[in-house]
Structures are given as structure tokens and as C-alpha cells.
Amino acid sequence: MDKNIKINEDENCILISVNPEIYPLDVIYSAAYVFLEKAYLLLEGDPKKEIIIKLTAKERINKEELKKIGKEFLNELISYGFYKKQSEKNNLIRQIILQRVLLTGAGENNDDCNSLMEETEEEDYLDDPKGIAIPWEEKYGDKKNGNSDK
């Protein structure tokens, strides 16, 4: 991990190298935003190969404190990277909730919201469009070589 961090005590800064395949740019922006109050940040490098974030502390600090800021930044990357993955996974739930909030707030008789209403309510759950209520055996048949994957 330490090879990703280069400390420059004279300039009171730290250079963090990030692999954009692991932490995409939008995640880096989110992490950077958290540090704008305590440091000056600059982004450099190649968005496809290696992104360099230069963090210059606003106050004069020592090497250990600079290292700590660098590691905190890496933690923020993980935090936002996870948030991005989790949001993508449950994006539909978030969409449905926000649509419902807008519909309630804007008034259900509002013409502008009719398309949203149709989108969220086109499937009647009683008809079981996703086949949740169908017994496993009926749905997947009697496969002798099948695994009960979970």
C-alpha cells in the first residue's frame, strides 16, 4: 500500500497513485470532495492508466500526519467505491423510492407524473410477474445434476 503514497515533506504534500480500473474517476471526485477543507488537491496523470492525486496540507504538518492524510484518502476511496457498487446493485429500489416521493410530492393527478406512475405501476404484484410465488420444483424442474446455488 505504501508504494501508492509518496510523501514530500518540503512541499508539505503527499502524492497518491490510484488505479482507475479499481477506483473510477467519479469515485475519486467523491473522495476528493471530502478533503477540500483540510487540503489543496490537484488531479494529474492518465485517466486510463494511473491517476495521481496531489494533496497539499493547508497547515504545516509532519511526515506522519501527511501519511495519515494519505491513508484516510485511500479509506475514502474504498468507502465511495463500495457505495458506488452497492448503489448500482440496488439502483432499482432507489429509483422506485424516489419516483414515489416525487409522485406524492407533486400530486398524483399531475399530468407530468403520469408516465412515472405508469413506469412504477405497470406490473401488478398479485399477478406475480417475477414468478416469486412459483414453487422451486415447478420452476426449475427435476434436474438430477443441478446444484442448490445460493
Partner 1 sequence: MNDKSKQNHLINNYRHKKFGNEFLVTTDHGSWIFLSEKEFEKLKKDLIEKDSEFCKKLEETGIIITTKNIKTILRKLEKRNDFLYQGTSLHIVIPTLRCNQKCIYCHASSKSLNEKKGEMDEETAKKVIDFIFQSPSEYIAIEFQGGEPLLNFKIVSYMIHYAKKLNKKYKKNLIFRIVSNFSILDEEKLNFLIKENVGICTSLDGPNYLHNKNRPFANKKESHHLVEKGIQKLNKKYKKNNIKHQRANALITITKYSLQYPKEIIDEYVGLGLKDIHLRFLNNLGDARQIWDEISYSCEEFMDFWKKSIDYILEMNKKGVFFRERGCLIILQKILTETDPNFVDIRSPCGAAIEQLSYTPEGDIFSCDEARMVGEDLFKLGNVKKDTYRKIISSNQTCSLVASSINDCQICDYCVYKPYCGICPVCNFVEQGSIIAKTLETPRCKIYKAQFTYLFEKLKNLENKKIFQDWINKTK
Partner 2 sequence: MAIQINKEKNEICILLNKDFYNIEEIKSTLKDFKEVCKGEVKEKKENQIKIILKPNENSVINSLGHEFCNYSLGLMKNHSVV
Using CB under 8 A as the criterion, which residues of the chain lie in contact with partner 1 when the complex forms? 30, 33-34, 37, 75-76, 79-80, 82-83, 86-87, 90, 93-94, 97-98, 100-102, 104-107, 110, 125-126, 128, 132-133, 135-137, 140, 142, 148, 150
44 binds partner 2 (CB under 8 A): yes
Give the span between the Cα atoms of 22 and 73, in whole angstroms: 15
Q: How far is the CB of 79 from partner 1 (least distance, A)?
A: 5
Residue 124 grid cell: 401488478
46 binds partner 2 (CB under 8 A): yes
Sole residue written with cell 406512475: 117
Q: What phi and psi values does residue 87 have, to the nearest 5 degrees? A: -65, -40
Our CA angle for 25, 1, 11, nearest 5°, is: 75
Query: Are the C-beta atoms of residues 15 and 57 closer than 8 Å to each other?
Result: no
How many CB atoms lie under 10 A from the CB of residue 6?
14
| Position among 26, 121, 123, 128 found at the interface with partner 2 (CB under 8 A) | 26
Residues that bind partner 2 (CB under 8 A): 25-27, 29-30, 32-33, 36, 40-47, 51, 54, 56, 80, 83-84, 87
